[in-house]
Amino acid sequence: MKFLDLAKVYIRSGGGGGGCVSFRREKFIEFGGPDGGDGGNGGSVWVEAVDGLNTLIDFRYQQHFFAKSGQPGMGAQRTGKTGEDIVLRVPVGTEILDEDEETIIADLTEVGQKVILAQGGNGGWGNLRFKSSTNRSPARANPGQEGVERTIWLRLKLIADAGLVGLPNAGKSTFLAAVSNARPKIADYPFTTLIPNLGVVGVDGAEFVMADIPGLIEGASEGRGLGIQFLAHVERCKVLLHLVDGTSSTITKDYKTIVTELEAYSEVLGDKARIVALNKCDAMDPKQISDRKRALEKASGGPVHVISGVAGKGLQDVLRDIYRTIQGEAPEEEAGPWQP
């Protein structure tokens, strides 16, 4: 299944049916009077968060959603049929934005959450509604109310408890595959990960969801590489795991590059709790590990985990700290989140 996290759709609710002008005509009944029925209401357009979806790809192939209009009223006091509603089914975590792509109409974060986007028009009154003591034979009826037409954007932000960030080839996909049920693509070239991946992580009998997004590079906030288009998927996370490639000769610069891009994207990500880990320790000797860990601690201003996704070293400790942070508990002193 292809991944799509932004879609533009056009919606229109149904118009109300017009009221009917009709008079009762029946043998041996001299004064039948008005009997025009009301028009039916137009169908509305709804959006609902459903389980089992993690992409907006369906909205690439269908962008127009028009609800049906109500039927006109009829004689013998018959009301027109109400138009059928249309429901847009989207993944949990979808934001509904107005045409300006900034105004948030709704944020669907729970399964079953349902919001109306365009109300159907009311049906017009038939002439029976206008009968009064002074107007016994009204010859007018109301037209139905017109439907609402609008353009909206659907923007998906995956629901995850923890997010993985780092430069390309920092080992994020390898880490996610080692600690979860996810099977992301893993290769020895940059930008192996082109779309976000989700995995369920288990630690000490508990579970949480972790998201891996494509790597960031210097200038990502200006559109370089894959840019920052996928950072929205870690905005909802309670903690970020910042992986730094231990085999790099520019560890401090690598760390600061990611921090700069996170802060350039939004204050929310810049201030979010972060846990830093020096990855690929299996490819370094003890002296390199010691020197580079010290340099990274100085740059980050806090403790650093030493791990290896390939060899499985240090994974449980960092997962425990992530889970403690998600639960709002104080992390271990030697492995807690800190501010850059």
Write the DSSP assignment of 325-336 as a string of letters.
HHTTPPPPGGG-
Which of the pair, 317 or 270, is modelled with greater confidence? Answer: 317
- Displacement of CA 206 from its chain's centroid (Å): 25
168 among annotated binding-site residues: yes
Say if residue 221 carries a ligand binding annotation. no
Ligand-binding site membership of 161 (annotated)? no
Average pLDDT on 141-151 reads: 94
169 among the known binding-site residues? yes
Q: How far apart are CA 332 and CA 330, in angstroms?
A: 7
pLDDT for 337: 35
Model pLDDT, residue 25: 83
Give the amino acid at 174. Answer: T
Q: Is 135 assigned a ligand-binding role in the annotation?
A: no
Question: What pLDDT is stored for residue 336 in this prediction?
Answer: 39
pLDDT for 226 beyond 80: no
Q: How confident is the model at residue 158 (pLDDT cuts 50, 70, 90)?
A: confident
**Model confidence over 6-54: pLDDT tens digits?**
899 999 999 999 999 999 888 887 778 899 999 999 999 999 999 888 8
Q: Residue 14, annotated ligand binder? A: no
Please list the alpha-helical segments (H only) found in 185-285.
251-265, 267-270
Indicate whether 166 pLDDT > 90: no
Q: What domains does the chain contain, in order, with CATH numbers?
A: 1-156 (2.70.210.12), 162-335 (3.40.50.300)
What is the percent of the chain with per-residue pLDDT over 90, rounded to a whole number? 35
Annotated binding residue 7: no
> What's the start-to-end Cα distance of the chain, in Å?
38
**pLDDT of amino acid 184:** 57
> Is 194 annotated as belonging to a binding site?
yes
- Residue 170, marked binder: yes
For residue 296, say whether it is annotated as part of any ligand binding site.
no
Q: What pLDDT is recorded for position 153?
A: 95
- Pairwise CA distance, residues 180 & 326, whole Å: 17
Predicted pLDDT of residue 335 = 42
Grade residue 200 by pLDDT with cuts at 50, 70 and 90: confident
pLDDT recorded at residue 207:
86
**Average model confidence (pLDDT) for the chain?**
85
157 is in an annotated binding site: no
The token pair at 77 is 């006091």
Predicted local distance difference test score (pLDDT) of residue 182: 63
Higher pLDDT, 70 or 284: 70
Do residues 322 and 208 lie in contact, with contact meaning Cβ atoms separated by under 8 Å? yes
| Angle at 288 (CA atoms; ends 286, 291), nearest 5 degrees | 110
Cross-strand pairs, 321: none
234 class by beta-carbon count within 10 Å (0-12 exposed, 13-18 middle, 19+ buried): buried
204 is in an annotated binding site: no
Q: What pLDDT band is residue 237 in, cutting at 50, 70 and 90?
A: confident
Find the mean pLDDT for residues 194-199. 74
The reply to whether 167 sits in an annotated binding site is yes
Task: Give the whole-angstrom CA distance, residue 129 versus residue 190.
Answer: 71
Distance CA 7, CA 29 (A): 61
Least confident of 15-24, 81-90, 249-258: 249-258
pLDDT at 122 over 90: yes
* 213 assigned ligand-binding residue: yes
Please give the structure tokens belonging to residue 40: 């039916």
